[in-house]
Amino acid sequence: MSTANLPGELNPSPRLLLGPGPSEAHPRVLKAMTTPLLGHLDPEFVVMMSETQQMLRQVFKTQNPLTFAVSGTGMAGMECMVVNLIEPGDPMVVAVKGYFGGRMAEIARRAGAKTTVIEAPWGDVFDLNVLRDTLKKVKPKVLGIVHAETSTGALQPMEELGKLCHEQGVLLAVDTVTSLACVPLEVDAWELDAVFSGTQKGLGCPPGLAPITFSPRAMEIIRNRKTKVQSWYLDMSEVMKYWGEERFYHHTAPISSVYALREGLRVVLEEGLPARFARHRLHHLALKAGIHAMGLSYLTKEQCQLPQLNAIRIPDGIEDMKVRKRLVSDFGIEVGGGLGDFKGKAWRIGLMGYGARASSVFAVLSALERCLQQEGYSLKPGASAAAAQSVYANS
């Protein structure tokens, strides 16, 4: 190929990422990714791995020895969690209240689980009594559930669920992709057995790694498997040799992504988890006030709304894609559309990690106002920003 036919140098248009993910990466994280590479078994990189593991334990609020980052995106974390706990024929219950619960059920089926799916309406969460009755009836090996459902913006209460599972002799496996570092998550105190997340949301990093942690109870199950894990790459009995004390070669780690995660965790812990949760809550309330001032509403029930992922009902007569395309073309702002039951019905606005700040709130409210006006939607110009400002002024 001649140089005349080569693609030009990378120069993407600036975007404000306020969708369901990826979210805005912190500038310190982007700077860390430019650090020169080390070998994946270099003694200095091994130290960085240990530092990253220790900070992950602090953010997950756990003492679990097997806490590390899977080399893959969040879905690799979900698959890793399921295929290590499940052997062919094992009964597993998956609680589905949105798109990503459905994903977990599909992975369970592919892993050979005898899968029982229970469902709650999109935008709602499960009652503890429903889960208790299901566990008593099915007697599964594992219960899988999503903590923060990205497709609906709903937060599942988790504080009592681990205890309930263990009373029934069940392992609890949890998707925390959209909750980690945005809302409280207590792996040990809540008795969660296997928990995974992603780097591209609350941690303020690019996608590419899936933080994961396994309890001693889960590790005992993995060590005593009768069959090999379906996936060689995600087999914890092998991967733990690399991320454990042995540091035995398993795969070539994505060095720059580990740099990014290490710095992202430093940012999280410097801010402090309580302050970080409060920040996400404040900007959510400001956004919500602005959304209501435009005459818009949420699809998620009030009592379980996530602060970091806002599912906004699209008004009658307004075209989903037309507005989202204009947000990108005219304002450089990305928000998400609906999935599954919410397809064509919701705009998903993410305020996660570095993106959870006042400038993001005012930018998206003003841009959305303008786009709706251009579609003939009646509103009072400037009302949304004024409502958001009132929240900030009174905080």
Cis amide bond preceding 22, omega within 30? yes
Q: Which fold has domain 27-269?
A: Aspartate Aminotransferase; domain 2 (3.40.640)
Q: Is the model's pLDDT at 117 over the cut of 90?
A: yes
Say how far apart CA 126 and CA 231 lie, in whole Å. Answer: 31
- The strands making up 336-337's β-sheet, listed across from edge to edge, are 309-313, 346-350, 336-337
pLDDT number for residue 221: 96
**C-beta neighbour count of 319 within 10 angstroms:** 11
Share of residues in the chain with pLDDT > 70 (%): 99
DSSP 334-381: E-EE--GGGTTTEEEEE--GGG-SHHHHHHHHHHHHHHHHHTT----T
User: pTM score, two decimals?
Assistant: 0.95
pLDDT number for residue 1: 54
pLDDT number for residue 39: 92
Residue 13: DSSP 8-state: P
pLDDT tens readout for residues 249-258: 788 889 999 9
pLDDT tens readout for residues 217-234: 999 999 999 999 999 999
Say how far apart CA 60 and CA 320 lie, in whole Å. Answer: 36
pLDDT tens readout for residues 273-286: 999 999 999 999 99
Q: Which of 8-12, 14-18, 119-123, 218-222 has the lowest mean pLDDT?
A: 8-12
Q: Is the model's pLDDT at 2 over the cut of 70?
A: no
pLDDT number for residue 245: 74
pLDDT number for residue 211: 98
Q: Is the model's pLDDT at 383 over the cut of 80?
A: yes
What SS3 state is found at 108?
A: helix
pLDDT number for residue 4: 74
Q: What average pLDDT does this structure show over 275-298?
A: 98
pLDDT tens readout for residues 165-203: 999 999 999 999 999 999 999 999 999 999 999 999 999
289, 61 contact by CB (below 8 A): no
Which class is domain 273-393? alpha beta
If pLDDT is split at 50, 70 and 90, which confidence band does 96 have?
very high
Q: Is the model's pLDDT at 122 over the cut of 80?
A: yes
Say how far apart CA 30 and CA 354 lie, in whole Å. Answer: 12
Structural domain spans, the chain:
27-269, 273-393
Say how far apart CA 146 and CA 159 lie, in whole Å. Answer: 13
Average pLDDT across the chain, whole number = 95
If pLDDT is split at 50, 70 and 90, which confidence band does 5 have?
confident
pLDDT number for residue 244: 72
pLDDT number for residue 252: 83
pLDDT tens readout for residues 306-318: 999 999 999 999 9
Q: What average pLDDT does this structure show over 376-389?
A: 95
